[in-house]
Amino acid sequence: MFVSYKWLQDYVDLSGINATELADKITKSGIEVERVEKKSEGLKGVVIGHVLEREQHPNADKLNKCQVDIGAENPVQIICGAPNVDKGQKVAVATVGAVLPGNFKIKKAKLRGEESHGMICSLQELGFESKLVSKDYATGIFVFPNDVEVGRDALEELGLSDEVLELGLTPNRSDALSMLGVAYEVGAILGREVKWPVVEKEEAAEKATDYISVKVEAKEDNPIYMAKIIKDVKIGPSPLWMQTRLMSAGIRPHNNVVDITNYILLEYGQPLHAFDYDRFGSKEIVIRRAKDAEKIVTLDEAERTLTPDHLVITNGSEPVAIAGVMGGADSEVKNDTTNIILESAYFAGTVVRKASKDHGLRSEASARFEKGVDPARVREAGERAAQLIAQYAGGTVLQGAAEVDGLTMEPAVISITLEKINTLLGTSMTVSVVESIFKRLQFGVELDNETFTISVPTRRGDITIEADLVEEAARLYGYDNIPATLPIGSATPGQLTDYQIKRRKARRTLEGAGLYQAVTYSLTSQEKASQFALEARESIRLAMPMSEERSQLRLSIVPQLLEVVKYNNARQIDSLALYEIGSVFFKRDEQELPEEKEHIAGAITGLWESHLWQGEKKPVDFFVAKGVIEALFDTLGLADQISYRQAEINDMHPGRTAEVLLNGEVIGFIGQVHPTVQKDLDIKETYIFELSLKALAEAEVAPIAYQTIPRYPSTTRDIALVVDQATKAGDIQDIIEEAGGKLLKEVSIFDLYEGDRMEEGKKSIAYSLKYFDPERTLTDEDITKAHDKVLEAVKEKAGAELRG
């Protein structure tokens, strides 16, 4: 809703409050003023000129040479290219030195050999949007009515120096979709009176009902319908002030009758429609639901097919308008129209919404019906429009109206106590403060002790319950005046859940390990949705995706991380370590919500360590990535429960991939992206992992056992074992640990040799074994006994030979 500051002054005294201050007050009271615009800001030097002479430019067909009186001592010569410029017109002249929108400065110029001292302007050149410019002046200069004074500021005459407040209305405040509605609001905020327009009826003796009758067949859809008749009008332009007000509100002027209906729409919030009486086709108006497949050609010349969902105004046989949405072309008011049927009605929001949606016709009028017009103002709005038509289109208003009024309006009556208001708001308003707020809103107030009984006017259909009154009290009292306190009440322990703590630990660990956290999209393409998925399950598709690229819910995070790698690789960033914690979604039954699991995924590529001047470079490999997740498991206290198993997974390097198991259950994988996939993605060698954070966080953790510093010495024995190439170091370690018994406290690998000094197909792995007893010093004999068992076991179970 656009509100002209000047126009508003017709209804409320705004003295002492400028537009910006007013905007601030309105915003603080609950209707957000999104901007305050003064179109003439930065413009200057445009005056009303009088075209004294016009002749063809001697050297250019399409140019006119004009002598224009601009109120200065002598007329000036202006070359003008507008097709409609002519002698005798009053026009807007940008004089030499003027500034037009876009900081366009007007200078003295020579056009094809003729001097030009300024420019005659179109409305577009003065900053009006094309869609607001009347069709009469769409392709030429604007011509003022003849009574404007030469030399005056043209910007002022066009209403451009007015300030316009743009209100961002929330759905509950449709009452402010009119100047009078805004006036009520402003009146309440400022505590000032609202002045209504005075409707002075001047009606002929002839009765409207002799010309037209009204019958409503769909009473629920249309409880109020009033038709006035205005005879002998003369269609022409509306007064300039009305045109500028319409334009300031975003409505294009047409002719006096149409402009007046739009003016009342803006003033009262009541949409009106004018029919050409002589083209109406009958003397009766019948309002009913449309018949199936019934047709109407609307004002925009489109033929529209109707259904019984749509309400139509008919002439008894054919539809002449879609109620509240658009009139028909046949009965349109045209330049030769002389007699008018003026409709003012209350149409139900639902039926108007259905029609405007079905036909794609959303207008200022339909929007107001949809939100509900004030039933109490339907007739008054119609009367005022008729009066204005008589005044500005020279017609005669016939007596009375043909009408149907079947709406029983009772203002809502709501009671509330002062205590309730103060308790909810945390305020200590007095009875008189609250009473004055309701009175400023022009609500009916009855006060019994400290209980208010409020009668709400019909224009405020949004107020129906106690909480609505509390809100009114709060916003007019001012949110600034509500104290700021913190809840006191029973203490509640604030804490993270175990799961949330573990998630944070995971973040800290990966951050500490040098990984950057990424947040990518949950929606992805069909192809990527299930790539690298930990569980091969069906992905979920959106019913109406915005694009194929974002059409499926992801089953894995890795593909998106690889996209990040790709993006960086393409920008010469080769070394990258990323992780993401986020949900993946698995399809269940159609009727059920999907299964959501939180995963943790990483992608590491490029150099892990580099210290160039010392000549050190450590590229990322499998074990770098594995070290990262090992640190994670260690932090979560799960290191003992985790194992790895060589695995073949789609799109992964077949020799460099492992499944990660938690107590024997696969909960993730780690490895290198398959070189072919790397090539397709155009990324360098990249290692990835994806784990179920849910599984990790929900696993039971053995309580931390604290160990004292040993009092007895430990003994270390190193062994180098020669085994088959395919034998897994982890398997041997398991064998050693099992065979070593309780004296064996630690096993670690300290060397791996696969070079040419080994027999073909063999490798050597060196383990360091630490023996220790917390109770005593071990004897050589004890250790040897344990160690021999180990040697025997590895020989037997892994075919390992001790390396000489």
Partner 1 sequence: MMQERLLELQEEALQKVAAASELKELNEVRVAYLGKKGPITEVLRGMGKLSAEERPKIGALANDVREAIATKIEEKQKALETAAVNAKLATETIDVTLPGRPVNKGNLHPLTRVVEEIEDLFIGMGYTVAEGPEVESDYYNFEALNLPKSHPARDMQDSFYITDEILMRTHTSPVQARTMEKHKGQGPVKIICPGKVYRRDNDDATHSHQFQQIEGLVIDENISMSDLKGTLDVFAKKVFGQDREIRLRPSFFPFTEPSVEVDISCKICGGKGCSVCKQTGWIEVLGGGIVRTSLKWLASIPRNILDSHLESAWNGLPC
Site for partner 1 in 415-454 (CB under 8 A): 423-427
Can you tell me the distance from the alpha carbon of 1 to that of 704, in angstroms, rounded to the nearest whole number?
66
Q: Measured from the CB atom, is 302 or 467 closer to partner 1?
A: 467
Shortest Cβ 503–partner 1 spacing (Å):
10
Q: Return the amino acid letter for 144.
A: F
Nearer to partner 1, 142 or 443 (CB): 443
Report the C-alpha gap between 266 and 246 in whole angstroms: 8
Question: Which CB, 631 or 701, lies closer to partner 1?
Answer: 631
Q: In angstroms, rounded to a whole number, what is the distance separating the alpha carbons of residues 311 and 322?
A: 6
Which positions ≥6 away from 21 have C-beta within 8 Å?
A: none
Site for partner 1 contains 785 (CB under 8 A): no
Count of residues making up the chain? 804
| Measured distance CA(411)–CA(574) in Å, rounded | 72
Q: Are the C-beta atoms of residues 288 and 312 closer than 8 Å to each other? A: yes
C-beta closer to partner 1: residue 39 or 50: 39
What would the two tokens of residue 626 be? 């594995």
**One of 74, 335, 432, 495 touching partner 1 (CB under 8 A):** 495
Contact 275, 214 (CB under 8 A): no
Q: Which residues contact 157 (CB under 8 A, 6 or more apart)?
A: 48, 144, 148, 240, 244
Which residue, 293 or 486, is less far from partner 1 as judged by CB? 486
**How many CB atoms are closer than 10 A to CB 221?**
21
Candidate list 59, 317, 517, 779; residue touching partner 1; CB under 8 A? 517
Based on CB atoms, which residue is closest to partner 1, 263 or 579?
A: 579
Residue 111 or residue 169: which is nearer to partner 1 going by CB?
169
Nearer to partner 1, 231 or 597 (CB): 597
Instruction: Report H helices in 36-170.
Output: 154-157
In whole angstroms, how close is the CB of 120 to partner 1 at the nearest point?
Answer: 32
- 768: closest CA among 716, 699, 702? 716
Cα separation of 429 and 483, whole Å? 12
Which CB, 138 or 467, lies closer to partner 1?
467
CB under 8 A: which stretch of 31-39, 132-140, 656-664, 795-803 binds partner 1? 31-39
Q: Which of 7, 12, 17, 29 binds partner 1 (CB under 8 A)?
A: 29
Q: Which residues ranging from 733 to 762 are in contact with partner 1 (CB under 8 A)?
A: none
Which of 161, 396, 522, 733 forms a contact with partner 1 (CB under 8 A)? 522
Tell me how far apart the alpha carbons of residues 538 and 525 are, in angstroms, rounded to a whole number.
13
Nearer to partner 1 (CB atom), residue 450 or residue 471 = 471
Within positions 535 to 594, which residues make up the interface with partner 1, using CB under 8 A?
540-546, 550, 553, 577, 579, 582-583, 585, 590-591, 593-594
List the x/- string, 461-490, binding to partner 1 by CB under 8 A.
Answer: ------xx-xx--xx---xx-xxxxxx-xx
The piece of 26-34, 259-267, 325-333, 397-405 that touches partner 1 (CB under 8 A) is 26-34
- Least distance between partner 1 and beta carbon 518 (Å): 7
Tokens of 329: 């072309």
* Cα distance between residue 473 and residue 735, in whole Å: 79
Task: Candidates 32-40, 259-267, 530-538, 701-709: pick the segment binding partner 1 (CB under 8 A).
Answer: 32-40
In whole angstroms, the minimum distance from the beta carbon of 374 to partner 1 comes to 19
For residue 67, which amino acid is it? Q
Phi/psi region, residue 411 (left: phi>0; alpha: psi -120 to 50; beta: rest), is beta
Q: Which is nearer to partner 1, 544 or 705 (CB)?
A: 544
Minimum CB–partner distance for residue 167 and partner 1 (Å): 13
Among 17, 119, 513, 732, binds partner 1 (CB under 8 A): 513
- Which C-beta is closer to partner 1: that of 514 or that of 675? 514
Least distance CB 538 / partner 1 (angstroms):
13
Phi-psi region of 80 (alpha: psi -120 to 50; beta: other; left: phi over 0): beta
Q: Which residues, 353 to 412, sit near partner 1 by CB under 8 A? A: 353, 370
Question: What's the gap between Cα 225 and its chain centre?
Answer: 38
**Among 287, 317, 281, 269, which residue's Cα sits nearest to residue 227?**
287
Q: Bridge partners of 216?
A: 287
The pair of structure tokens assigned to 650 is 């789609």
- DSSP codes of every residue in 348-375: -HHHHHHHHHHTT---HHHHHHHH---G
For partner 1, the closer of residues 166 and 318 by Cβ is 166
* Window 173-232: residues binding partner 1 (CB under 8 A): 173
- For partner 1, the closer CB: 397 or 691: 691
* Contact (Cβ atoms closer than 8 angstroms) between residue 379 and residue 309: no
Q: Which is nearer to partner 1, 103 or 591 (CB)?
A: 591
Q: Which of residues 343-362 bind partner 1 (CB under 8 A)?
A: 353
Cα separation of 11 and 181, whole Å?
A: 10
Nearest distance, CB of residue 368 and partner 1, angstroms: 14
153 secondary structure, DSSP code: B
CB of 42 to partner 1, least distance (A): 13
> Of 36, 85, 93, 224, which one interacts with partner 1 (CB under 8 A)?
36
What span, in angstroms and rounded, lies between the C-alpha atoms of 695 and 616? 38
Exposure of 419 by Cβ count < 10 A (0-12 exposed, 13-18 middle, 19+ buried)?
exposed
CA neighbours closer than 13 Å in the CB half-sphere of residue 20: 1
Binding residue count for partner 1, defined by CB under 8 A: 85
* Radius of gyration of the chain measured on its C-alpha atoms: 42
Least Å distance, CB 125 to partner 1, is 24
CB of 231 to partner 1, least distance (A): 41
- State the chain's maximal CA–CA distance in angstroms: 133
Q: Which of residues 150-179 bind partner 1 (CB under 8 A)?
A: 170-173
When binding is defined by CB under 8 A, the residue of 97, 512, 627, 675 that contacts partner 1 is 512
- In the complex with partner 1, the residue whose CB is nearer, 697 or 800, is 697
Among 9, 18, 21, 32, binds partner 1 (CB under 8 A): 32
Q: Name, in order, each residue with C-beta under 8 angstroms of 701's C-beta and a sequence gap of 6 or more.
A: 636, 637, 638
- Residues of this chain, 594-653, that bind partner 1 according to CB under 8 A: 594, 596, 608-611, 613-614
The stretch among 28-36, 87-95, 139-147, 401-409 that binds partner 1 (CB under 8 A) is 28-36
Distance of closest approach, residue 471 Cβ to partner 1, in angstroms: 4
| Residues whose CB falls within 8 Å of the CB of residue 110, separated by 6 or more in sequence, listed in order | 116
| Touching partner 1, residues 274-313 (CB under 8 A) | none
Distance CA 568, CA 574 (A): 7
* Cβ-based nearer residue to partner 1, 209 or 520: 520
Residue with tokens 């040897």: 784
Conformational region of residue 664, where left means phi above 0, alpha means psi within -120 to 50, and beta covers everything else: left
The one among 161, 209, 520, 768 contacting partner 1 by CB under 8 A: 520
